[in-house]
């Protein structure tokens, strides 16, 4: 009983964070909760949903990439497993959405477990490129196979009426559903970073030899983190499938997606709980705004040029991301205040 | 039997070009431990240099190689001083995304200027001709590409192994600080590694342009192949890039013969298998 209370307290308590952070987070929650009630333009709603989805992807990636320090550039394969499990089971056998999610998670976790041990023999760039290669192998296979729809992809059936079991409702429903998923992952991460495993993972990131000498099983710690990240990616993929109602290997297993997910966490600040949220809050609206700004004006590609330019500026000027800037400003304020 | 020889021949020819592409990447990695996502984009720009000079200046595509090399060299040096220099102090993740941003930027810059349509070089001494020896027929421009690649590979290897400049480069890659104390301008060595990387990728692009379609997005494929090649051969190893290039060329051609849709899956999977058995690649440090 006491253990349960402690876990709950660790999960929902933000007491170790500063007052400013808590106030900012609370106001963020209020805004995002009331957002669809006041904003009725569907474009803005879709931007917000995409933001929440990528914040969620980023939170998952942050576990292995931020707290674990292992640069995983293959998260798209897990998104793909979740999306395909949901799409195939719902389209072919009419299985309700809720039963497909655990299947997607299981596939992603089992696959990740199969490749994790050989992969964690590698470090640094070798590891990053190995994850990338594995994800690309899966993309090629999903493009090739018939039962996944190949390059044509899968279109999910549309039910005429709002339907909870098949996750079909109006845009507001998706907003609150993804918000719930996002909050679940956020509080899980909030528990994780203070858990025994979270500290072990950060110790491994900072110094593998020292943590091994303290009795931490280095590889197993990394593998566990890798599996949790995989599960989180799969959940996001399942949501993507029922939200977009169409998936193909180019949309859910693309290399660009893997990198965008990692970038979300990196631009915001990897290894901080706010990082992925800040990163998604900047990258996703920026991407969609630039896309809309130049759409149909004959300037093909200029939106990506500006986008890429901003990424290069952040990577070269503030490699710790937006959160690094915030901490710098706070540090300066503290020095001048005291 | 004929088929086997045919596949092996085109595999080796393609592999030599892959080796040349990977050479620049492995050199850059060896000197400063950074993986360049924009490497295929250098190659793509080399392709366009060859295309533009041959189409608008009516120059023989093979003669446009020095232009492709010059553009690649200037691009490499420019990228080093404007971007990479500032990335080096950051963590590995920031480096990856910095060069990824560069990749996006170059790709869409070319798309912005020249449009997204695929192009091909139509006129040229080598374009569209085949060379037949017995039952084996290969694209003449592919033979030329392989020949030039091998020559250039030997030239760059000699430069690295045999010249004073090469010794300075190797010294910088082994210990930058110590090399600096010995009076080597390490800053310039690093820039030079990017310049050589850009030039070799540019030439590889100029060679590929003779028989490969040219689009702004073609770079990604070659970046991925170059990654697999470099990692297979061992990061920083010039010899490794050569051997791994040949292996990857052969795998691609053999797999392409029977399962052409997923030939790249075999390339990536081979990389995965090799590093599982030998995490440093063939010749890694």
Cβ pair A91, A216 in contact under 8 A: no
List domains and CATH numbers for chain B: 2-277 (1.10.3470)
Looking from the CA of A133 toward its CB, the CA atoms found within 13 Å total 29
pLDDT score recorded for residue B233:
83
Tell me the residues of chain A between 205 and 264 that have a Cβ less than 8 Å away from chain B: 255, 259, 262-263
CA-CA distances (angstroms) from residue B238 to A12, B96, B118, B275? 53, 22, 32, 18
Confidence band of B146 (pLDDT split at 50, 70, 90): confident
How many percent of chain B have pLDDT more than 70? 97
Residues in chain B within 8 Å Cβ distance of A317: 86
Q: What is the pLDDT of residue B74?
A: 94
- Integer angstrom CA distances of residue B6 from A100, A156, B51, B136: 48, 45, 28, 5
Chain B: give the shortest CA distance to residue A225, in Å: 18
CA distance B56 to A142: 41
Average pLDDT over residues B112-122: 82
Rounded to the nearest 5°, which phi and psi values hold at A246? -150, 130
Ranking A48-57, A98-107, A137-146, B262-271 by mean pLDDT, the lowest is: B262-271
Confidence of residue B9 (pLDDT cuts 50, 70, 90): confident
Q: How confident is the model at residue A338 (pLDDT cuts 50, 70, 90)?
A: very low
Q: Which residue of A has its CA nearest to B216?
A: A301
Reduced to 3 states (helix: H, G, I; strand: E, B; else coil), residue A246 is strand
Q: How confident is the model at residue B280 (pLDDT cuts 50, 70, 90)?
A: confident
pLDDT digits (tens, 9 = 90+) for A283-337: 888 888 887 777 766 667 777 888 888 888 888 888 788 888 888 888 887 776 5
Q: Smallest Cβ distance to A311: which of B97, B231, B235?
A: B97
Q: What is the pLDDT of residue A270?
A: 81
pLDDT single digits (tens) A77-122: 999 999 999 999 888 888 888 889 999 999 999 999 998 888 888 8
Q: How far apart are CA A301 and CA A285, in angstroms?
A: 17
How much is the pLDDT for B92?
80
Lowest mean pLDDT, pick from B37-41, B147-151, B276-280 = B276-280
Closest CA to A225 of A119, A102, A133: A119
Count of A-B CB contacts under 8 Å: 149
- Residue scoring higher pLDDT (B194 or A157): B194
Residue A7 pLDDT grade (very low, low, confident, very high; cuts 50, 70, 90): confident
Segment B100-118 shows an average pLDDT of 87
Tell me the β-bridge partners of B138. B131
CA B168 distance to own-chain centroid: 23
Burial class of A95 by CB neighbour count within 10 A (0 to 12, 13 to 18, 19+)? middle
Q: What is the pTM of this model?
A: 0.86
Distance of CA B109 to the CA centre of its chain: 20
Continuous segment of H or E residues that includes residue A296: none
> For B66-99, what is each residue's pLDDT tens digit?
888 999 999 999 999 998 888 888 888 788 888 8
Pick from A140, A266, A308: which is nearest to B108 by CB? A308
Contact B105 A309 (CB under 8 A): yes
Is there a contact between A315 and B94 if contact means CB atoms under 8 Å apart?
Answer: yes
Other C-beta atoms closer than 10 Å to the C-beta of B189 total 21
Q: How far apart are CA A266 and CA A262, in angstroms?
A: 6
- Say yes or no for a CB contact (<8 Å) between A133 and B272: yes
The class of domain A2-337 in CATH terms is mainly alpha
Residue A145 contacts B where some CB pair is shorter than 8 Å: no
Could you tell me which residue, B227 or A162, shows the higher pLDDT?
B227
Contacts with A125 (C-beta within 8 Å, 6 or more apart), sequence order: B29, B33, B35, B92, B231, B235
């Amino acid at each position: 009983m006491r253990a349960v209370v402690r876990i709950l307290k660790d999960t929902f308590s933000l007491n170790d964070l500063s007052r400013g952070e808590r106030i900012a987070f609370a106001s963020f929650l209020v805004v995002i909760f009331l957002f669809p009630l006041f904003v009725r333009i569907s474009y803005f709603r879709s931007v917000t949903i995409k933001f929440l989805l990528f914040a969620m992807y980023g939170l998952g990636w942050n576990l292995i990439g931020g707290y674990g320090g292992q640069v995983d550039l293959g998260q798209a394969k897990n998104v793909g497993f979740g999306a395909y499990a949901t799409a195939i089971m719902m389209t072919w056998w009419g299985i309700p959405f809720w039963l497909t999610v655990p299947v997607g998670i299981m596939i992603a976790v089992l696959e990740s477990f199969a490749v994790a041990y050989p992969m964690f023999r590698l470090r640094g760039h070798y590891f990053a490129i190995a994850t990338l290669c594995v994800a690309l192998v899966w993309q090629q296979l999903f493009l090739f196979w018939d039962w996944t729809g190949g390059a044509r992809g899968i279109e999910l059936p549309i039910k005429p009426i709002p339907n909870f079991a098949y996750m079909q409702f109006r845009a507001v429903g998706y907003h609150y559903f993804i918000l719930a998923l996002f909050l679940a992952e956020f509080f899980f991460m909030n528990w994780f970073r203070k858990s025994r495993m979270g500290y072990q993972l950060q110790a491994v990131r900072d110094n593998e030899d020292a943590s091994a000498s303290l009795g931490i099983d280095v590889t197993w710690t990394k593998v566990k983190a890798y599996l949790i990240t995989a599960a989180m990616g799969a959940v996001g993929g399942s949501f993507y499938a029922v939200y977009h109602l169409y998936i193909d290997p180019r949309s859910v297993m693309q290399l660009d997606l893997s990198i965008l997910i990692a970038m979300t966490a990196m631009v915001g600040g990897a290894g901080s709980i706010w990082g992925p949220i800040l990163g998604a809050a900047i990258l996703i609206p920026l991407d969609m705004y630039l896309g809309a700004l130049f759409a149909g004006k004959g300037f093909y590609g200029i939106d990506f040029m500006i986008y890429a330019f901003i990424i290069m500026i952040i990577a070269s000027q503030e490699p710790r991301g937006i959160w690094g800037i915030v901490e710098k400003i706070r540090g300066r304020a503290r020095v001048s205040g005291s | 039997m004929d088929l086997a020889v045919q596949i092996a021949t085109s595999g080796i020819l393609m592999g030599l070009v892959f080796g040349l592409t990977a050479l620049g990447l492995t050199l850059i990695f060896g000197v400063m431990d950074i993986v360049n996502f924009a490497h295929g984009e250098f190659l793509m720009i080399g392709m366009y240099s060859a295309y533009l000079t041959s189409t608008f200046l009516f120059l023989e595509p093979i003669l446009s190689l020095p232009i492709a090399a010059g553009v690649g060299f200037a691009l490499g040096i420019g990228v080093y001083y404007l971007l990479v220099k500032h990335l080096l102090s950051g963590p590995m993740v920031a480096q990856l995304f910095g060069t990824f941003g560069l990749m996006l930027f170059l790709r869409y810059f070319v798309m912005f200027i020249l449009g997204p349509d695929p192009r091909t070089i139509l006129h040229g001494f080598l374009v569209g001709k085949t060379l037949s020896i017995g039952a084996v027929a290969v694209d003449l421009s592919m033979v030329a590409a392989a020949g030039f690649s091998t020559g250039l590979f030997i030239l760059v290897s000699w430069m690295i192994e045999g010249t004073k400049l090469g010794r300075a480069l190797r010294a910088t890659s082994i210990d930058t600080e110590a090399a600096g104390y010995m009076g080597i301008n390490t800053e310039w060595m690093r820039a030079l590694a990017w310049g050589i990387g850009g030039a070799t990728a540019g030439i590889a692009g100029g060679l590929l342009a003779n028989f490969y379609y040219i689009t702004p997005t073609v770079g990604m494929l070659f970046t991925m192949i170059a990654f697999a090649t470099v990692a297979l051969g061992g990061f920083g190893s010039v010899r490794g890039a050569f051997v791994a290039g040949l292996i990857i060329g052969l795998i691609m051609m053999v797999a392409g013969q029977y399962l052409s849709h997923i030939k790249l899956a075999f390339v990536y999977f081979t990389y995965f298998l090799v590093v599982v058995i030998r995490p440093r690649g063939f010749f890694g440090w």
